[in-house]
C-alpha cells in the first residue's frame, strides 16, 4: 500500500483537503508533486541518506514534500514552528542539513537563520528570485527518479527538559519504497482503520510532530483523504468533522479539555455521526476527561502510548479502558519491562522506569551519552517514563522521570496534581513544577491558566486548594499558585516545563544574590 498505487488506481480521489480554505490535492496531483520534489532534492545535491529540514506551517505542500523525500531516500528533519532563530539554527547545524525548505510565514526568522547558518541552501514558499520554492519545483521532471529509495524522518525532541536531541532511526529494513510499512499493520489490525480507501482522516495538530506525520502518511498508504486543520480550534474541529464527514482522527488530551470546556450548545450543535474512530496520545489523559469524552462521542476513542523513538507502542480501546480506567493499554509493538533503580525487573503493580525491548533500536544524533543513558544493560531502551503494569498486562503511566519533584525527600509526580486541576470548571490548563526551596530542596508550584483571568487571585486559589484537598496529601499540595493567561504549550500538546522551571530557578538565584 502506497500513494503511488492509489494515484494509479484513483488519481482524482482527494489525498489532502485543507480544513479552513477547502484547498484540495488529489492523489494524481500529489504523485506528480512527489516526483518533482524528489528531482528537486537531487538537483540540490542531496543523495540517499542526506539531511534536509522543513520549517513550515500546516499547508497543502507539507505532506507532498514528505512523499518526495520518501522517494529520494533522504532524511527529512521537521522543525517546530514555535522555535526562535537560534533554536532553529541549533537543529540545522546539529542535524547537518544541506537544505532548508520554509515559507514567508517565517520571514521574521529567515534572515537570522541565513546569517547564522551559512552554507545551508534555503528555499522559500512564496519567496523571491532563486530562493522561490514553487518556481524551482515546477521546473523538475514529473517522472520518477531513477534511484528511488525509502526516506526517513529525524525528529527532534521538543526540548522540554534541555536542548533538543535528534532521534536517528534504524535504517529501513527494505529498499523497496512500496514495501509494507509496520504502522499500516498497527493501524488496520490494532486501531481498525479501513484499508478500502474510504477513510477521511482529520489531523488537527502541527504536521512537524511525530504523530501527525505518522498517522497522516499511514492514511495515505491506505488510500484515505487527509483533512488538515491549519490550526486547532475546538469549534472549528467539530465543524470540520461535520463538514467533511470525517471517519477517523487523532488528538492530544489538551484538545479534549478545550472541547469539553465549550458551552453545551457549542458542543452539541454538530453532527458527528460519521466519526467512527478517534486516536489520542502524546500525554496521559486525566480519567475524568477521558470518561467525559467517551460519554460524549461514544466508545470510539482509542488511546496509544509511543514515542518518536519508535521502540514500542501500547494500545487500548474504549471498551477495555472503561474496565481499566487510566491505562494506556497492552503492548502491540515491542515488549515492556518495568525496572527499579538498579535495572532489576519489578513485579506487577510496582512503579518503575519503563523500557521497551525491540529488535530495532534508534540512537540520539550526535549524543552517544544520551543514547547510553536511555539503555538498559540488556539492550532495552527507555523513553524516560515511569509507570507500572497490572496483573492483566495493562500499562499505567505515572509521570516523566524528568518531571518528578523531590520535596523533603519525598517523590512527587506532577501529573497527578495536573490531572485534578484541569477537571475544575474554572481551569483551562495547568502545569505543576518543582521550584527551588531552601528548606525542602523543591516546593510544588501550580502554574494555572484560568478560564477567565479576571477571576485569578486569592479567592480562586482558595477554591482550588479546597478542590484538591480531598485527593492530595499535604506534601503534594502546591505551595504557590501562579495564574497566567497562557502556558508555554506546544501546538502538539507538549508543555514546555523547562521554561517555567528555568524562570523560577532564575528568580531564586536573583533572590539569593540580593540577600
Numbered ranges of CATH 3.40.50.980 in the chain:
26-168
CA 260 – CA 150 distance, rounded (Å): 41
What's the CA gap between 220 and 466, in Å, rounded? 49
Please determine, for residue 160, whether its predicted confidence score (pLDDT) is greater than 60.
no
- Mean pLDDT, the chain, rounded, equals 92
Q: What fold does the segment set 404-514 form as a domain?
A: GMP Synthetase; Chain A, domain 3 (3.30.300)
Taking the complete model, does pTM exceed 0.75, yes or no? yes
Calpha distance 144→129 (Å, rounded): 27
Model confidence at 458: pLDDT above 70: yes
Q: How confident is the model at residue 74 (pLDDT cuts 50, 70, 90)?
A: very high
pLDDT digits (tens, 9 = 90+) for 213-228: 999 999 999 999 999 9
pLDDT band at 13 (very low <50, low <70, confident <90, very high): very high
Q: What is the pLDDT of residue 38?
A: 98
Q: What is the pLDDT of residue 102?
A: 98
Strands 75-78 and 51-55: parallel
Task: Say if residues 220 and 63 touch (Cβ distance below 8 Å).
Answer: yes
> Which residues touch 58 (CB under 8 Å, ≥6 apart)?
18, 206, 207, 228, 229, 230, 231
* Full 3-state SS string of 238-302: HHHHHHHCCCEEEECHHHHHHHHCCCHHHHHCCCCCCCCEEEECCCCCCHHHHHHHHHHHCCCEE
Q: What is the pLDDT of residue 490?
A: 77
**Residue 304 is placed in which grid cell?**
496509544
Q: pLDDT digits over 316-335, tens only?
A: 999 999 999 999 999 999 99
Q: What's the pLDDT tens digit per position in 246-294?
A: 999 999 888 999 999 999 999 999 999 999 999 998 777 889 999 999 9
* Contact present, 202 and 237 (Cβ < 8 Å): yes
C-alpha cell at 142: 514529473
Q: How confident is the model at residue 378 (pLDDT cuts 50, 70, 90)?
A: very high
Give span(s): CATH 3.30.300.30, the chain.
404-514
The confidence score (pLDDT) of residue 172 equals 83
Angle of CA points 182, 183, 186, to nearest 5°:
95
pLDDT(43) > 70: yes
**140-178 b/e (C-beta count within 10 Å ≥ 16 → b):** beeeebeebbbbbbbbbbbbbbeebbbbbbeebeeeebe
The pLDDT of residue 427 is above 70: yes
Helix (H) or strand (E) holding 112: helix 107-116
> Is the distance from CB of 122 to CB of 113 less than 8 angstroms?
yes
Least confident of 177-181, 338-342, 374-378: 177-181
Mean pLDDT of 99-118: 94
Q: Which of 399, 335, 344, 330 is nearest to 376 (CA)?
A: 344
Average pLDDT over residues 181-200: 88
For residue 182, what are the CA distances in angstroms to 1, 31, 283, 312, 333?
Answer: 11, 22, 23, 12, 10
Instruction: Report, as an integer, the average pLDDT of 350-368.
Output: 93
What share of the chain in percent tops pLDDT 70? 99
Band of pLDDT at residue 67, cut at 50, 70 and 90: very high
**CATH code for the structural domain at 26-168:** 3.40.50.980
pLDDT (0 to 100) of residue 146: 95
Give the pLDDT confidence score for residue 162 in this predicted structure: 59
Question: Measured between alpha carbons, how far is 27 from 15 in angstroms, rounded to an integer?
Answer: 5
User: By C-alpha distance, which of 480, 470, 483 is closest to 429?
Assistant: 483
**161 vs 370: CA distance, rounded Å:** 13
- The x, y and z cell numbers of residue 278, run together, are 478517534
Give the pLDDT mean for 66-91.
95
Predicted pLDDT at 494: 76
Least confident piece of the model among 134-143, 199-208, 410-419: 410-419
Q: Are 349 and 341 in contact (CB under 8 A)?
A: no
Residue by residue, what is the 3-state secondary structure of 353-405?
EEEEECCCCCEECCCHHHHHHCECCCCCEEEEEEEEECCCCCEEEEEEHHHCE
What one-character DSSP code corresponds to residue 132?
B
CB 314 within 8 A of CB 304: yes
Distance CA 282, CA 251 (A): 8
Task: Describe the strand order of the beta sheet including 155-156 as a list of residue ranges.
Answer: 155-156, 166-168, 363-364
Residue 408's φ and ψ, nearest 5 degrees, are 60, 30
268 phi, psi to nearest 5 deg: -95, 0
Average the pLDDT over 372-401 and give the result: 93
Q: How far apart, in whole angstroms, are the C-alpha atoms of residue 69 and residue 41?
A: 8
CB atoms within 10 A of CB 112: 14
**Confidence category of residue 510, pLDDT binned at 50, 70, 90:** confident
- Count CB atoms within 10 A of the CB of residue 204: 25
pLDDT band at 159 (very low <50, low <70, confident <90, very high): low
Amino acid at each position: 500500500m502506497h500513494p503511488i498505487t492509489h494515484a494509479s488506481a484513483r488519481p482524482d480521489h482527494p489525498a489532502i483537503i485543507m480544513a479552513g480554505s477547502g484547498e484540495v490535492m488529489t492523489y494524481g496531483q500529489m504523485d506528480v508533486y512527489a516526483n518533482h520534489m524528489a528531482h528537486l532534492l537531487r538537483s540540490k545535491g542531496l543523495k540517499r541518506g542526506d539531511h534536509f529540514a522543513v520549517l513550515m506551517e500546516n499547508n497543502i505542500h507539507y505532506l507532498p514534500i514528505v512523499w518526495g523525500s520518501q522517494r529520494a531516500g533522504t532524511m527529512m528533519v521537521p522543525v517546530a514552528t514555535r522555535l526562535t532563530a537560534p533554536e532553529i539554527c541549533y537543529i540545522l547545524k546539529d542535524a547537518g542539513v544541506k537544505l532548508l525548505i520554509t515559507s514567508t510565514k517565517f520571514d521574521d526568522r529567515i534572515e537570522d537563520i541565513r546569517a547564522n547558518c551559512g552554507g545551508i541552501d534555503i528555499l522559500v514558499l512564496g519567496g523571491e528570485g532563486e530562493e522561490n520554492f514553487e518556481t524551482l519545483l515546477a521546473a523538475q521532471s514529473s517522472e520518477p527518479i531513477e534511484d528511488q529509495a525509502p526516506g526517513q524522518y529525524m525528529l527532534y525532541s521538543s526540548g522540554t527538559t534541555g536542548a533538543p536531541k535528534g532521534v536517528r532511526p534504524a535504517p529501513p529494513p527494505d529498499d523497496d519504497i512500496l514495501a509494507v510499512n509496520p504502522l499500516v499493520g498497527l493501524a488496520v489490525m490494532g486501531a481498525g482503520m479501513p484499508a478500502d480507501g474510504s477513510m477521511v482522516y482529520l489531523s488537527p495538530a502541527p504536521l512537524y510532530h511525530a504523530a501527525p506525520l505518522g498517522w497522516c502518511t499511514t492514511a495515505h498508504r491506505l488510500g484515505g483523504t487527509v483533512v488538515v486543520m491549519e490550526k486547532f480550534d475546538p469549534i472549528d474541529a467539530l465543524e470540520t468533522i461535520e463538514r467533511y464527514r470525517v471517519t477517523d482522527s487523532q488528538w492530544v488530551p489538551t484538545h479534549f479539555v478545550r472541547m469539553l470546556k465549550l458551552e453545551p450548545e457549542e458542543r452539541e450543535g454538530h453532527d458527528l455521526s460519521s466519526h467512527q474512530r478517534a486516536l489520542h496520545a502524546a500525554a496521559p489523559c486525566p480519567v475524568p476527561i477521558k470518561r467525559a469524552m467517551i460519554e460524549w462521542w461514544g466508545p470510539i476513542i482509542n488511546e496509544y502510548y509511543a514515542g518518536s523513538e519508535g521502540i514500542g507502542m501500547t494500545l487500548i480501546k474504549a471498551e477495555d479502558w472503561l474496565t481499566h480506567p487510566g491505562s494506556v493499554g497492552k503492548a502491540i509493538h515491542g515488549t515492556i519491562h518495568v525496572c527499579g533503580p538498579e535495572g532489576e525487573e519489578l513485579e506487577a503493580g510496582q512503579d518503575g522506569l519503563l523500557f521497551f525491548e525491540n529488535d530495532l533500536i534508534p540512537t540520539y544524533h550526535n549524543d552517544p551519552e544520551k543514547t547510553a543513558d536511555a539503555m538498559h544493560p540488556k539492550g532495552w531502551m527507555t523513553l524516560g517514563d515511569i509507570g507500572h503494569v497490572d496483573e492483566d498486562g495493562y500499562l499505567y503511566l505515572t509521570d516523566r522521570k524528568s518531571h518528578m519533584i523531590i520535596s523533603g525527600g519525598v517523590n512527587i509526580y506532577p501529573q497527578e496534581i495536573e490531572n485534578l486541576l484541569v477537571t475544575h470548571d474554572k481551569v483551562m490548563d495547568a502545569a505543576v513544577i518543582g521550584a527551588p526551596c531552601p528548606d525542602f530542596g523543591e516546593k510544588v508550584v501550580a502554574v494555572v491558566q484560568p478560564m477567565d483571568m479576571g477571576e485569578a487571585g486569592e479567592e480562586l486559589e482558595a477554591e482550588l486548594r479546597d478542590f484538591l484537598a480531598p485527593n492530595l496529601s499535604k506534601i503534594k499540595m502546591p505551595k504557590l499558585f501562579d495564574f497566567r493567561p497562557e502556558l508555554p504549550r506546544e501546538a502538539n500538546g507538549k508543555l514546555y516545563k523547562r521554561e517555567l522551571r528555568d524562570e523560577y530557578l532564575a528568580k531564586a538565584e536573583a533572590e539569593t544574590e540580593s540577600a
